[in-house]
């Protein structure tokens, strides 16, 4: 069988694409790319997807499971003033390392990099599970985020290697499903572990067996050929500058307004440093032989607009996932477990459109209408959520979440598919990692922006209530035996200290005296209305971005004739071709 080559060795450092005989670790000479590369059969792809799905479930479950356990963790380890760093550490390393994982996989191979990410994640999870103090936990969680960055990026790149763009939709829907399932399971599993004899440490340790299984599956099932490059050039300077610039931005956005006042020398210094580091990264990337994020990507209209749309999706998605449970716990007095269940409308609708649109795109190859409709649904959904304050029940919360979830499902994976199809094969990995990077960066920006809106409105509401109580106390006639109104005085004094309590746990808020609690809960209700309103212009900007994308049909169709024959042979126990050649035979080696 004639080998089909997906790009030259100088372009991607890879051997003949899947579907050709498996020849691993043998240098090949550069050859022109075949116009229609062969891909493995669906049976082979399904085997590979098992490992990818397990790895992604492991990494995403880690991100969602720790939120429920944080109050208990901080109570045991201490260092309450550094709570923000526990969450920020993983977010920082995950986001900043995303483009680096993509580029290194071009040079050293997908399988090796994927297993390195899994190994880092396993070691970090064990370290976090046995943490003895808060500094140990922060360092371990930061290392864990580094592994998660690879596990969140490489599956989409590997999927792009083994499935044509048009057929990729049906599998990308599964990746969206993993995200939704982990979002629901995380808080539930975290709450169960914290309340069980196992304790909070198993919030980190429980994902280790899953990661080990994923490692083994990838080792034995993923046999994609790879030819290493001779003397590969790694742009370590560019990687360091990109990592530093992204890290500075994330730290500023995560801690600004809380740990660091916005109007402070520290905030200005970090803002200036992020700008200088970004400029330096651009200059270095333009001259690098093997840039981490090739600047030529930004000349592609689809890549630029998909990245902008991904930033909007990240801001809305991460902001809503973080603050919706808080809204339900503070305002509606729900437990963490129940508040997690109340996000089911968001997750269920996300799964429906993520999987459904993937199969629809695989059939037609046309995708442009889906992200546009999705962004419209996000605009309507956040508008409905903004009316939650005037709705004594939870109807608007349920309907709003459903609409936003439908919109997320029509955007998140489709924007990646459109980018992968539009870019040349040699830029597929870098483009995929970059779009994922911008989505994660948007998530950090969304959490920070929504948090700033909530905290500022919350403090303003409580301050206004405290001033009104003091004014009423000053003009109110004496009522008590000592000449004071004890109820009014209790309210006035309680509200003066309520701002600090309001930023604590839901249990702390609901333990406040009833008059103070009513004011604080009402302030939370008004503050969250501001958060929901803030999502509307973000969704509008995302709608503008995806509306200007070119709806070029995705490349590739179903399996080629040779692959179809190989698949039928595999299903019937055959060798998949003469002499054991073809993708099926490659996967068996």
Task: Find the mean pLDDT for residues 36-48.
Answer: 71
pLDDT in tens, 543-585: 999 999 988 887 665 444 444 444 444 444 433 333 333 333 3
Are 302 and 422 spatial neighbours (Cβ–Cβ below 8 Å)?
yes
Task: Find the mean pLDDT for residues 37-61.
Answer: 78
Please state, for a pLDDT cut of 70, what percent of the chain lies above it: 75
Task: Find the mean pLDDT for residues 421-449.
Answer: 84
Residues 6+ positions from 398 with CB-CB distance below 8 Å: 342, 345
3-state class of 415 per DSSP?
helix
pLDDT in tens, 389-414: 767 678 899 999 999 999 998 998 88
Are 362 and 163 spatial neighbours (Cβ–Cβ below 8 Å)?
no
What DSSP designation does 50 have?
H
Instruction: Say what the alpha-carbon torsion angle 88, 89, 91, 92 is, to the nearest 10 degrees.
Output: 110
What pLDDT, on a 0 to 100 scale, did the predictor assign at position 152?
82
Report the half-sphere exposure of 484 (CA within 13 A, side-chain side).
10
Mean pLDDT, all residues of the chain: 76
CATH number of 297-474+495-553: 1.20.1250.20
Q: CA-CA distance, 569 to 420, in Å (whole number)?
A: 30
CATH number of 39-225: 1.20.1250.20
| Phi, psi (degrees; rounded to nearest 5) at 260 | -125, 120
The model carries a pTM of 0.74
Most confident of 58-62, 224-228, 479-483: 58-62
Please state, for a pLDDT cut of 90, what percent of the chain lies above it: 17
What pLDDT, on a 0 to 100 scale, did the predictor assign at position 320?
85
């Amino acid at each position: 069988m004639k080998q089909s080559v997906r790009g030259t060795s100088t372009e991607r450092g890879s051997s003949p694409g899947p579907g050709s005989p498996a020849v691993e670790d043998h240098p090949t000479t550069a050859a022109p790319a075949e116009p229609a590369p062969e891909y493995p059969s669906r049976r082979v792809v399904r085997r590979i997807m098992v490992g990818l799905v397990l790895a992604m479930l492991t990494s995403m479950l880690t991100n969602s499971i720790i939120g429920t356990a944080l109050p208990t963790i901080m109570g045991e380890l201490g260092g309450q003033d550094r709570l923000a760093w526990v969450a920020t550490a993983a977010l920082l390393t995950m986001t900043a390392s995303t483009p680096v994982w993509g580029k290194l996989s071009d040079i050293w191979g997908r399988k090796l990099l994927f297993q390195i990410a899994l190994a880092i994640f396993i070691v970090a999870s064990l370290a976090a599970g046995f943490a003895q103090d808060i500094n140990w936990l922060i360092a371990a969680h930061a290392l864990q985020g580094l592994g998660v960055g690879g596990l969140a990026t490489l599956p989409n790149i590997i999927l792009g290697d083994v499935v044509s763009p048009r057929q990729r939709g049906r599998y990308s829907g599964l990746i969206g499903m993993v995200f939704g399932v982990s979002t629901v399971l995380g808080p539930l599993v975290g709450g169960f572990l914290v309340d069980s004899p196992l304790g909070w440490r198993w919030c980190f340790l429980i994902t280790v067996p899953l990661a080990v299984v994923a490692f083994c599956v990838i080792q034995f099932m993923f046999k994609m050929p790879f030819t290493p490059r001779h003397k590969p050039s790694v742009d370590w300077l560019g990687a360091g500058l990109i990592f530093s610039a992204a890290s500075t931005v994330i730290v500023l956005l995560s801690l600004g307004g809380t740990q660091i006042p916005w109007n402070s020398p520290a905030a200005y210094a970090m803002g200036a440093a992020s700008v200088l580091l970004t400029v330096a990264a651009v200059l270095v990337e333009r001259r690098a032989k093997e840039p981490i994020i090739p600047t030529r990507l930004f000349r592609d209209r689809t890549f630029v607009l998909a990245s902008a749309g991904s930033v909007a999706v990240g801001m809305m998605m991460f902001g809503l996932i973080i603050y919706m449970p808080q809204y339900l716990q503070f305002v509606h007095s729900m437990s963490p477990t129940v508040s997690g269940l109340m996000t089911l409308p968001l997750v269920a609708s996300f799964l429906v459109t993520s999987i459904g649109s993937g199969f629809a795109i695989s059939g037609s190859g046309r995708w442009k209408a889906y992200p546009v409709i999705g962004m419209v649904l996000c605009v309507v959904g956040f508008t409905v959520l903004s009316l939650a304050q005037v709705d004594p029940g939870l109807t608007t919360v349920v309907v709003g979440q459903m609409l936003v979830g439908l919109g997320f499902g029509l955007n998140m994976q489709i924007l990646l598919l459109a980018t992968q199809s539009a870019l040349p094969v040699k830029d597929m990995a870098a483009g995929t990692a970059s779009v994922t990077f911008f989505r994660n960066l948007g998530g950090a920006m969304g959490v920070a922006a929504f948090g700033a809106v909530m905290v500022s409105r919350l403090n303003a509401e409580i301050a206004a209530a405290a001033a009104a109580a003091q004014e009423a106390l000053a003009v109110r006639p004496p009522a008590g035996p000592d000449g004071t109104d004890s109820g009014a005085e209790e309210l006035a004094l309680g509200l003066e200290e309520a701002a600090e309590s309001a930023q604590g746990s839901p249990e702390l808020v609901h333990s406040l005296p009833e008059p103070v609690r009513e004011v604080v809960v009402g302030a939370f209700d008004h503050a969250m209305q501001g958060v929901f309103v803030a999502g509307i212009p973000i969704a509008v900007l995302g709608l503008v971005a995806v509306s200007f994308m070119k709806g070029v049909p995705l490349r590739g169709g179903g399996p080629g004739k040779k692959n179809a024959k190989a698949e039928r042979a595999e299903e019937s126990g055959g060798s998949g071709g003469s002499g054991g050649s073809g993708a099926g035979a490659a996967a068996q080696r």
